[in-house]
């Protein structure tokens, strides 16, 4: 992936001095992605790459990518859901459920997290939790 030249970026963070971004990051009002002036498009390009490598069976690489994305932007439910899916594929249901919970804490109607979590609940025979999730999906 070719790096976008500085003058081609549309991120408003590039117009904010690094010192101001650092203060805002330390105050908890910016994500690490904002501090680094990464654009949403760049984050989602990385997520797409993670999806591709995961689909090719390179689950350790996909895990690293999505773990980095949740650090860069912990407020994006998609990144948590994708990381949960990788954990599920790797057989780590506990960590997967934790990531789905994080996604749902950000967006309680995030359909991929609700469905993926419900699938795990089916395997665990947690029928009340399955019903709760699927009710939210079809509401």
The reported pLDDT for the residue numbered 22 is 87
Helix (H, G, I), strand (E, B) or coil at 132: helix
Residue 20 has pLDDT above 60, yes or no: yes
- How many other β-carbons are positioned within 10 Å of the β-carbon of residue 101? 13
Q: Is the pLDDT of residue 38 over 60?
A: yes
Give the phi and the psi of residue 38 in degrees, each rounded to 5: -80, 140
CA distance 103 to 73: 12
* Collapsed DSSP state (helix, strand, coil) of residue 48: helix
CA atoms within 13 A on the CB side of 127: 0
Separation between Cα atoms, residue 112 and residue 52, nearest integer Å? 17
Q: Which residue has the higher pLDDT, 138 or 125?
A: 125
Q: Taking a C-beta distance cutoff of 8 angstroms, is the pair 75, 46 a contact?
A: no
Question: What is the CA angle 84-46-75, rounded to 5?
Answer: 55
pLDDT digits (tens, 9 = 90+) for 48-101: 999 999 999 999 999 999 999 999 999 999 999 999 999 999 999 999 999 999
Please write the tens of the pLDDT for every residue from 95-124. 999 999 999 999 999 999 999 999 999 999
Please state the pTM of the whole predicted model. Answer: 0.84
């Amino acid at each position: 992936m070719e790096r976008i030249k500085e003058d081609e970026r549309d991120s408003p963070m590039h117009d904010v001095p690094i010192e101001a971004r650092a203060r805002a990051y330390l105050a908890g009002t910016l994500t690490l992605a904002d501090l680094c002036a990464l654009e949403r498009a760049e984050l989602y390009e990385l997520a797409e790459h993670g999806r591709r490598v995961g689909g090719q069976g390179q689950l350790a690489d996909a895990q690293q990518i999505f773990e980095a994305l949740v650090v860069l932007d912990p407020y994006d439910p998609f990144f948590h859901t994708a990381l949960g899916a990788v954990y599920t594929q790797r057989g780590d249901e506990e960590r997967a459920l934790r990531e789905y919970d994080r996604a749902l804490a950000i967006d309680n109607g995030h359909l991929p997290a609700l469905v993926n979590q419900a699938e795990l609940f089916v395997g665990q025979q947690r029928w009340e939790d399955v019903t709760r999730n699927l009710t939210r999906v079809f509401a």
